[in-house]
Amino acid sequence: MNTGTHIEHNTPAVELINLHKSFTPLTGKGGKVRAVDGVDLTIDSGEIVALLGPNGAGKTTALDMILGFTSPTSGTCLVYGGSPRHAVQHGRVSAVLQTGALLDDLTVRETLAMIATQHSHHMPIDQALDRAGATSFADRKVSKCSGGEQQRLRFALALLPEPDLLILDEPTAGMDVNARRDFWAAMHAEAERGRTIVFATHYLEEADQFADRIVVMGAGRILADGTTEEIRALGGLRTVSVRWNSDDGDAATALAEIPGAESVRGEGERTVFTGPDTDAIAHHLLTHTKSSDLLIVQVPLEEAFVGLTHQAQQSAA
């Protein structure tokens, strides 16, 4: 990673300033859909950043603009200080695309050779195959490759121009557990070579295990941006669930006295507290109340996003 910063002379890999992108939906009713709604983001060379968010959060649209597939409605999108297209033409940025993008009648090797004709500089095809773990099925037709194998081919294609910045849009979608583990192992190797990696995912574990920095997106905005630990600590990601004892009175009234707790709700027989510091909530509940059967639960991400979006709206209001 230090080599990365050395090469770039501190030009950020990606710089998004007040970025907006809206679409007119085909259905025609309602106004424009604001897919990306005012994003400011700087990604330095050598960083490994996860863009985390549910479907429709604006992740893919943001990445499409970084790759020059679409242009912003307003705002600035710079890749290594220049236009995305310029970065693409110089082989500085490449991507593992989500789906499609392959010709069924070509073999894996032929696909690489055909795309390689267009790069002014590229690594040897055998090397790209090797790094992506695609050597064993190099002479297989794309139509006969499994989903995981096709994804490795896309990875090899992305490595061809030896990009400084690698963009991955939900790279492990449709992969089984083993393929997923192998993929991230290969990606680790690329990160160690000093590449900057930005990937979109809706799996918190994936973001957690691989990224140094997580950017949470929702409704076209950045909801949170920080290290893995910081994101985990955000309110709403964990809850404390107990069997509430009515001797302690009403749980909603008791909320104000519980340190670190922000909200409470009933869930069948159980009462669920949320807040930034679940340890403090648990401590209080166990020592100061008659609550029993305490559980600290990692909230499914979709649910956590609802919480974060809610928080963002509140802070904006």
Partner 1 sequence: MTTGTATDRTERPTTADSAGPNALMGILKYAAYDFRRQLRMVESLFFIIVLPAALFVMFGSITAYGDLPAGHGTVSGSIATSMAVYGAVVATTNIAGSAAVERSKGWGRLLALTPMAQWQYVAAKVLVALAIAVLPVIVVFTVAALTGAELGPWNIWLSAGALAVLCSTMFALYGLFFGLMFRSEAAVGAASGLLVVLGFFGNLFTPLSGTMLEIAKFTPLYGVHGLATWPQMEGEIMSTMGEPMDPDTLGMLITSVVVWTVIFGLLALLAARRGTKRA
**Residues near partner 1 (CB under 8 A):** 3-4, 7, 26, 67-69, 88-92, 94-95, 97, 99-103, 105-106, 110, 113-115, 117-121, 123, 157-158, 161-162, 164, 193-195
Closer residue to partner 1 in complex, CB, 131/284: 131
C-beta atoms surrounding 314 within 10 Å: 8
Q: In the complex, what is the shortest distance from the CB of residue 222 to partner 1, in angstroms, rounded to a whole number?
A: 25
Shortest spacing between CB 17 and partner 1, in angstroms: 23
**Residue among 297, 294, 271, 269 at smallest CA distance from 284:** 294
Q: Which is nearer to partner 1, 34 or 310 (CB)?
A: 34
DSSP characters for 126-170? HHHHHHTT-GGGTTSBGGGS-HHHHHHHHHHHHHTT--SEEEEES
**Shortest distance, CB of residue 100 to partner 1, whole angstroms?**
3
What distance, in Å, lies between the first and last C-alpha atoms of the chain? 40
- Say if residues 18 and 175 touch (Cβ distance below 8 Å): no
Q: Between residues 69 and 203, which has the closer beta carbon with respect to partner 1?
A: 69
Q: How far is the CB of 283 from partner 1 (least distance, A)?
A: 48
In the bound state with partner 1, the residue whose beta carbon lies nearer, of 26 and 177, is 26
d(CA 297, CA 278): 9
- What distance in Å separates the CA atoms of residue 301 and residue 214, rounded to the nearest whole number? 13
Shorter beta-carbon distance to partner 1: residue 41 or 67: 67
Reading the block at residue 278, the tokens are 């679940």
Task: Give the CA angle between residues 203, 281, 275 to the nearest 5°.
Answer: 45
Helix, strand or coil for residue 313? helix
User: Which lies closer to partner 1 via its Cβ, residue 119 or residue 283?
Assistant: 119
Amino acid at 81: G
The residue among 142 and 231 lying less far from partner 1, judged by its C-beta, is: 142
**Chain centroid to CA 146:** 24
Place of tokens 């309602």: 30
| Least gap, CB of 121 to partner 1 (angstroms) | 7
Q: Which two tokens stand for residue 275?
A: 């807040």
Alpha-carbon gap, residue 181 to 160, rounded angstroms: 22
Name the residue with tokens 């002014």: 120
Closer by beta carbon to partner 1, 12 or else 236: 12
- The least CB distance from residue 189 to partner 1, in Å, is 9
Q: How far is the CB of 78 from partner 1 (least distance, A)?
A: 17
Residue 317: CB minimum distance to partner 1, A: 35
Here the tokens at position 9 are: 């002379």
